[in-house]
Amino acid sequence: MADEFMKGFGILVTAGLGWMVIAGWYKTPSFQGTQLLGEYPESPDVFSQIAIYLGESLFYFAIFGALAFWVLVPAINQARQAYDDRS
Amino acid sequence: MTEDTDTTEARADGGGTGIVPPDDETPTWSERKARKQGLARTTYEYFERARREDQQLRQESDYVERDVLGFPAWPHETIRNLALTSFFVGAIVFLSATLPPHIDAPANSGVTPPTILPDWYLYWSFGLLKLGPLNPDLALLGGQKLMADRTFGVLANLVVVGAIAIVPFLNKGSARRPVEQPFWASVGVFGVILSITLAVLSVKNLFPMDSHLTFDLTFLVPFVGAFITYAVLKSMREGYMFELNRRYYRLRPPK
């Protein structure tokens, strides 16, 4: 149980840091305005497109990776145990 | 340690007296007699059953049973602290390397900024300076106030700081968890919420809420939070698991 918490937490922290950096580069138009949640720049070049795609995937990986290890895997284990206990 | 000097140990080869001095676990004869009948027997069986259930629950759970006061500083605590420290230092180095800070234009000392506020951790004190509506006026003085609002605010600061300074003398804080002392836990929650609501009161001009409502909620919300905390913790004191935990956590460091 503790191991699965740590796996999910590691995913959340690592992917979240990566998302934070890319969002700081591309989604922070100015220091005074919206930070990390601003608009993407118009007509990004190839490297910016790659970074934006990476940032988006890191964002969803952080959320769904953590949810997988905190909710999905324990639920599957519980269900399997219940199934084994029934028979 | 040699075998010759160790004469207190009982020997089973017929050489010794065979009399074993009683330790803490050995029941005395009066205890054995008391357990035979009546209420004493019921009580004994009840506690024995509780102890057995406790033991079974501990053996079933996947928690590591710990019956020590703490872990040694080396290597356990040191390595854990090193791991945590390097994690946070690594996060700081990573963020400062990848997200260089924005450096603003230098401050112009000739212009007063439009919003004057202290640092955020002093907002509660700043909010206490804005308690003007609470400053009582006396009919004797013809509706005049006894002291200026700013004096009242400074006095309110003194009262709050004084109350915080008195708390350690009122309660030494031997509880390990809030459940053990619900009243003091709710007092703590009251203080935490009051500091937050006072901070909101200090920036009431910037806060998107009616300022009179903000003023009222500043003193209402802490009481609500304290009552909820007290009710929740008090209801958590009942039940089998609480009794089990109380026995489990009875091991305490000396006061």
The ipTM value here is 0.72
For residue A20, the chain B residues in CB contact (below 8 A) are 95, 99
- B17 pLDDT higher than 70: no
Chain B interface, Cβ < 8 Å to A: 62, 91, 94-95, 98-99, 102, 104
* CA max distance for chain A: 62
Contact A17, B95 (CB under 8 A): yes
Contact A14, A72 (CB under 8 A): no
Residue of B nearest to A31 (CA): B102
* A24 near B CB under 8 A: yes
Whether A1 sits inside 8 A of B62 (CB atoms) is yes
Highest-confidence segment of A33-42, B218-227, B231-240:
B218-227
Whether B95 sits inside 8 A of A17 (CB atoms) is yes
pLDDT of B9 reads: 56
- B255 pLDDT higher than 80: no
Whether B99 sits inside 8 A of A31 (CB atoms) is no
For residue A21, the chain B residues in CB contact (below 8 A) are 94-95, 98-99
| Region B124-131 average pLDDT | 90
For residue B62, the chain A residues in CB contact (below 8 A) are 1
For A17, the closest of B62, B94, B102 (CB atoms) is: B94
Could you say which DSSP state residue A69 is in?
I
Burial readout B146-167 (b: 16 or more C-beta within 10 A, e: otherwise): eeeeeebbeebbeebeeeeeee
For residue A1, the chain B residues in CB contact (below 8 A) are 62
Residue of A nearest to B101 (CA): A31
Whether A17 sits inside 8 A of B62 (CB atoms) is no
pLDDT digits (tens, 9 = 90+) for B68-99: 556 778 888 899 899 999 999 998 999 899 98
Q: How far is A82 from chain B (nearest CA, A)?
A: 17
Decide which of B221 and B102 is more confident.
B221
Please, what is the average pLDDT of chain B? 80
Q: Specify burial of residue B12 (Cβ count, 10 A radius: 0-12, 13-18, 19+).
A: exposed
- B39 pLDDT higher than 60: yes
pLDDT of B3 reads: 46
pLDDT band, very low/low/confident/very high, at B254 (cuts 50, 70, 90):
very low
Whether A24 sits inside 8 A of B104 (CB atoms) is no
Whether A21 sits inside 8 A of B91 (CB atoms) is no
pLDDT digits (tens, 9 = 90+) for B141-160: 777 777 888 888 899 999 99
